[in-house]
Each structure stands twice: as structure tokens, then as C-alpha cells.
Structure 1
Amino acid sequence: MTTDLPARMLRLLSLLQTRREWSGTELAERLGVTGRTIRRDIGRLRDLGYPVEGTTGHAGGYRLASGTAMPPLLLDDDEAIATAVALRTAAGHLTGMEETSLRALAKLEQVLPGRLRTQVAAVQQTTATIGWETRGPRVDPALLGGLAAACRDHEIVTFDYTTRRSGTASRRAEPHHLIASGGLWYLLAHDTDKDDWRTYRLDRITNPAPTRRYFTPRPVPGNDPAAYVSDKIATAPARYRAIATVQAPADTVRRRTWALAGRIRPLDGTTCTVDCSSNYLPAIAQALAALDVDYTLDTDPEVTAYLHQTAVRMQHATHS
């Protein structure tokens, strides 16, 4: 039985953070106390600023809700190390979240016990980051966090979405997964109005709002969210069209151009097609160069002109 009040309060808070909702009976059994004691402890947490809500239903329950300020979180040793390493990685890889990640990391490291601070420091001192330049737009941490919570809690959200033609439309969707790819973030969700799966770019989402209405998660087509989004990205219309017929087996080309894996289609045992279409002309040139084998090209005039210009520039460079 947990009789020490501070220890019991910390244990109660830790439990509330690990699951979306607990019944009073479950909490009492976990802590070895009465339901009356749980109610008093919940009141103490509220006095300390933790937004604990009571829930309806059989015997009632409790959950941590969003509040006006961020109360302290409780992390065990493994969680603290994982969080610190993730923040350090985010600072080097998530476009637009570098400063936010470093601020959060500094706060976490300040309160880490000495034994954990040493482990985190060792990881940072022995890890190097290759800072590739990305074209991706900046990520709004509040938007990312809010959608992640909606995915976790299976809560329907509404938002405005800007389409490729710069038109804005209202959306209502069941959010399932967040996918990061090529400097961009995507939300995989089931659109309730269209009754179909949709992939939304986060940089085109504005005015997101929770609805307090929840849904039962449905299976993602193929049971692989990342593969589904990857396929949608690969088949999405691009500004410039470029289809290469490559004189090499599909598996060989796939190993050389992993980023285009979803766009490779075998024709027979020795040839395949690769869709190198893109909104960026330099990206098409880079994809074609990575093939490193003979190919023929079916493409738009703008792509042909750009490739000719690039070839002339390279010839001049090698003969200068």
C-alpha cells in the first residue's frame, strides 16, 4: 500500500500520464488506497495546476486534459534519456523546430540526475549530424503536437486546407498517423465528408480545431501508413513530367534510387520505367543522374530544355 503522500501523488500523476483515461476503481487498486483517497489526491493535483478532468460513465473516471499552462511531467530513466536524444535529433533534422527543440533540451538537461546527464552527454558527444539542406517548409510545433494528440486520442478534427491551386476548403477528418518524408510532414486521415482516405501536407493546414468527438480507428489500407503515404506522394500530380525507360532490372534501379522506390515499374526482367516527375527541375536532373545506366526519356518540353542547358553547362565546366 502506498501510504507516503508525496510518493503516492507522484505515482498517481505518473499513471494519469500513461493512459488517456482511468476509472477511480483502477487507480485505487493500483495505489492500494480507497476511492475516497483517490478523490482527495485528484483534488490536490488540481490545486497544483494539473488539469485533471472527471469523466462520465460507469463509476466515473479521470484523465489529464489540456490546460492553460504546461505542468511538470514525470519521466522514468529510460523515458528521460529517450526524450533527450529525440530532442537532440530533432534539433538537427526537423526543419523549423531547431530552436524549439534546443530550448526543450536545455530545460530537460537542467533537471536530469547526474547519472542520466552523463549518459545523455555521452550520446551527444559521440553522435554527429549531417545537416542536409532541405526545401521543406517550417514546421509549426503547436500544429504538429495538436495533430499528434488527436491521432493518439482518436479525436475528430476540423481544419482549413490549401489545395495545389491555392484554393482553401474546410475539412473534417479522423486523424490516424503523422508521416515525415523529404523535409515535409503529412497527416494521414479519413475524411468524414468524402468517406475516403486522404493525405494532407501540414504546411497547408490552418485553423485546426478539436471537436471533442471520438472515433474507432479503422485499418489503414495495406496496414502500413508509411507505405500508403509514400505511394500517394509518388503518384501525386507534379508540375514537370519525366518518365524514364531504363535499361536495367527494377531491383537494380531500386537499390540505386531508394527515394524513388515507389515510382519504379518493371517492364520485363531487364528493363523498367522510373517516374522522375517533380515540381523542381533540379530534382529531375538529380534523379536521372542517379540511374547511372542508359535510358530513354518521355518528358515535358521544359524538362528537355533544362536538361540540355545543364548538359551544356557541365561540358563547359569539364573543358575549361
Structure 2
Amino acid sequence: MTDTTSRALALLNLLQTHRHWSGAELARRLEVTERTVRRDVDRLRELGYRVESAPGSAGGYRLEAGSAVPPLLLTDDEAVAMAIGLRVAATQQLVGGAEVTLTALAKLEQVLPSALRRRVNALAGAVQPARIGDGPAVSPVVLGELALAARDSERVRLRYTDGQGAQSVRRVEPHVLSPAGRKWYLLCWDVEREDWRTFRVDRIEDVEHTRVLFARRDITDEEVAERILIATSWSPQKIEADVVMELPLEQMEEHFGVWAQGAMAEDDRRTRWPLGGGDWREALYGMLYIPPGVDYVTDFPEPERSELRESLVRVQRALDADPPAPRHPASSADS
């Protein structure tokens, strides 16, 4: 393999790993001049890759879908079959394979021409694989577009329907796609609200690319996992209740951090905080995090309210009683 061929393949790899590159950055990565980059781009175009270029300080190069599948050593039928397989795999939330599946899907769909995209969409809609559990159906088209946007740090517009059926259009900066609890979630920065938001992907109806790039914000893996966990807890729960605590909203948010999501000021000294769970034990777990010394009331529903009260009475009785005799040390015969 010649140096020219190796360099062209290295350029192609860079173009496939990010949506937009400046000529200067490509030259720096490849350790060549910008003039050499332009010649290598022309070679890729001759091979069938559609590389768009834009002049000026904000210009650069990006790999676009062409009129035919570029020479990936795949036939049209093979490319369609691979795209459908990746979409099905992504929506099935394969254990340990979500990230790899989405990146592979993003790379392939980026170069599929429109005619093959239509075939993929039509065939994928006819494929009804057995679902894992009872999770809601996720559009593989939406999932693929979000994967592209997250990979390329591209701002998008979403048409979203919340749990109450209200529709809205949101401008967001996608950071992470994650499966959790048989659902897919998108963690993104909401441009209008200037804060992190987590959306269920099955409630996203449309993704519009803006071609506006954004600088990724710092967020740790721990913060991502915590925000996704909070989003799963906001799904409809068997037990749902409000707690009104004797604590101003600002102090409550400082104490609870991201778990203060949904809290609102009742007045200048009290905060209303929604909580829930699969049963009264899970809801009680949330109430136990209210700071010591802070009084609160709750509209915990019946019959779970009575079950909780009965359990707490027994706990109080156990704490008031004399402790049991110390455990006898194990004998040699027991060891």
C-alpha cells in the first residue's frame, strides 16, 4: 500500500469519525499541508465518496451521502441488510452493546444514499422482532439520527410529547443515548432552558438537524448515570405522592442536588417535592433523605399509607424494647 493510499484511508477514517473538520485540523492530524489535504479529498471523490467543502474561516470538509454506496466492499442489498440489523439490535437494547451498535449504525447511515435509506425505512417498519420485556417501541430512524447528532456534537430540534400528552419543540445539544429500564433515554443540554434535560426516545417524534455544532459540556459518567436514574424514577409509578417540607426551595435544591428535579416553592419557606415508587418502601426511602429536623407533611395515598404507618409503629416498638441477648459465640463443633 502506497503512502498516498494510506494517507487517503487515514483521511477517510477521520471524516467518518466526525461530521465536520477544518482543513487546518486535518492537515495537523495527518502531518501534511492543507494543499495535500485538498488533493487527498479529490482522490476520495474519485472513489465515490461525496466530500463537501466550504471556504472561509468557518469552512472545512464533511462526508455526505452520495448517489451510490461508497466502496465499502458491500453491495446495496448487503448495506440495507446491515442497516436493518443494526437498527433492530439498537432497539433491542443488547447488553453491553448499545454504544457499539449506535456508532456502527451512525457510520453506515451517514453514507447511505436516499434511495437505500427509503428501502431501509420500509423494510425495518415491516420487521417486528420479539421485544425484550414490555418496553415501549422506539423509532430506529429517530435513534439513528440522535446517534449521529451526539457523535458529531450537532444541535438538533426535537418534537417531543411528554407524559401528559403536551407537545413541544426543543432545541437541544445531544450528549448521551442510554438504555435503562427497558427504555431509551437522551441526555442533552436544553438551549432555551439552559439546563440538562433527559427525554424518553420513544416520545420523540422527529429529529431535525441544524448543522450547528456545539462545544461539549463537561459531565462525568457518574453524573450521567445519576440523571438517567432520576429520569427512570419519573416514569409513572404505582405509588405517587407529594411532600411539602419546611424548607425554602433554594436550600432544598442545595441539599438534594439533581434529585430536586420537579420541586417547586410552596411559599417563601416551604417546598413541594413529588416522589413515588413501586411500593410504599421505595417512596419511604425518598422521604428518609429529607434533612434531619425538617418537618414535612405528605398526601401518601391509602391503603399504602396505613401499611406504612403500621410498619413504622412496629419499628418504633422494636427500638423502644430492650435489645435481644447477645449472640452466643460459635462453638468449635459449629465451625
**Structure 1 residue 38 corresponds to structure 2 residue 37:** yes
> Which residue of 1 is the match for residue 144 of structure 2?
145
> Which residue of 1 is the match for residue 239 of structure 2?
241
Per the TM alignment, residue 165 of structure 1 is displaced from its structure 2 partner at its CA by 1.8
Write out per-residue CA displacement over residues 240-295 of structure 1, whole angstroms, 9 at most, x where no aligned residue. 3179xxxxxxxxxxxxxxxxxx9xxxxxxxxxxxx7735xxxxx59x99xxxxxxx
Q: Secondary structure at the match of 2:45?
A: helix
State the alpha-carbon separation in 2 of the partners of residues 72 and 21 from structure 1: 21
> Which residue of 1 is the match for residue 217 of structure 2?
218
> Which residue of 2 is the match for residue 118 of structure 1?
none
Alignment-mate amino acid for residue 149 of structure 1: L
> Which residue of 2 is the match for residue 128 of structure 1?
none
Write out per-residue CA displacement over residues 159-196 of structure 1, whole angstroms, 9 at most, x where no aligned residue. 21111122222111121211210110011112222222
Per the TM alignment, residue 133 of structure 1 is displaced from its structure 2 partner at its CA by 3.9
Q: How does 1:68-147 map to 2 (within 5 A)?
A: 70-72=69-71, 90=89, 93-94=92-93, 133-147=132-146
State the alpha-carbon separation in 1 of the partners of residues 56 and 39 from structure 2: 20
Per the TM alignment, residue 87 of structure 1 is displaced from its structure 2 partner at its CA by 6.1
State the alpha-carbon separation in 1 of the partners of residues 235 and 138 from structure 2: 23
State the alpha-carbon separation in 1 of the partners of residues 159 and 209 from structure 2: 13
State the alpha-carbon separation in 2 of the partners of residues 187 and 92 from structure 1: 14
> Which residue of 1 is the match for residue 10 of structure 2?
11
> Which residue of 2 is the match for residue 127 of structure 1?
none
Write out per-residue CA displacement over residues 67-106 of structure 1, whole angstroms, 9 at most, x where no aligned residue. 56553559xxxxxxxx9xx9699379438x9xxx8xx99x
> Which residue of 2 is the match for residue 317 of structure 1?
none
Write out per-residue CA displacement over residues 299-318 of structure 1, whole angstroms, 9 at most, x where no aligned residue. 555999xxxxxxxxxxxxxx
**TM-score, length-scaled by structure 1:** 0.53
Per the TM alignment, residue 155 of structure 1 is displaced from its structure 2 partner at its CA by 1.5
Write out per-residue CA displacement over residues 121-144 of structure 1, whole angstroms, 9 at most, x where no aligned residue. xxxxxxxxxx99411122322211
Relative distance call for 1:155 and 1:35 in structure 2 (3 A) is closer
Q: Secondary structure at the match of 1:170?
A: strand
State the alpha-carbon separation in 2 of the partners of residues 67 and 151 from structure 1: 22
Check conservation: 1:179, 1:226, Cα contact below 8 A.
no
Q: Secondary structure at the match of 1:224?
A: helix
Alignment-mate amino acid for residue 48 of structure 1: L
> Which residue of 2 is the match for residue 194 of structure 1?
193
How many percent identity over aligned positions? Answer: 44
Relative distance call for 1:149 and 1:37 in structure 2 (3 A) is same
State the alpha-carbon separation in 2 of the partners of residues 277 and 60 from structure 1: 51
Check conservation: 1:159, 1:170, Cα contact below 8 A.
yes
**TM-score, length-scaled by structure 2:** 0.51
Relative distance call for 1:226 and 1:89 in structure 2 (3 A) is farther
**Structure 1 residue 277 corresponds to structure 2 residue 272:** no
Alignment-mate amino acid for residue 13 of structure 2: S
Number of residue-to-residue matches in the alignment: 218
Relative distance call for 1:211 and 1:32 in structure 2 (3 A) is closer
Q: State the structure with more CA Rg.
A: 2
Check conservation: 2:154, 2:209, Cα contact below 8 A.
yes
Alignment-mate amino acid for residue 139 of structure 2: D
Check conservation: 2:153, 2:173, Cα contact below 8 A.
yes
Check conservation: 1:188, 1:200, Cα contact below 8 A.
yes
Check conservation: 2:237, 2:276, Cα contact below 8 A.
no
**Which structure 1 residue ranges, 5 or more long, are not aligned?**
75-82, 109-130, 244-261, 263-274, 279-283, 289-297, 305-320
**Which structure 2 residue ranges, 5 or more long, are not aligned?**
74-81, 109-129, 242-258, 260-274, 284-299, 307-335
Check conservation: 2:155, 2:174, Cα contact below 8 A.
yes
State the alpha-carbon separation in 2 of the partners of residues 11 and 192 from structure 1: 35
Check conservation: 1:221, 1:228, Cα contact below 8 A.
no
Relative distance call for 1:221 and 1:92 in structure 2 (3 A) is closer
Q: Secondary structure at the match of 2:37?
A: helix
State the alpha-carbon separation in 1 of the partners of residues 182 and 88 from structure 2: 14
CA RMSD of aligned residues (A): 4.5
Relative distance call for 1:303 and 1:183 in structure 2 (3 A) is farther
Relative distance call for 1:70 and 1:171 in structure 2 (3 A) is farther
Check conservation: 2:132, 2:182, Cα contact below 8 A.
no
Check conservation: 1:240, 1:300, Cα contact below 8 A.
no
State the alpha-carbon separation in 2 of the partners of residues 229 and 189 from structure 1: 11
Relative distance call for 1:192 and 1:51 in structure 2 (3 A) is same
> Which residue of 2 is the match for residue 227 of structure 1?
226
> Which residue of 2 is the match for residue 160 of structure 1?
159
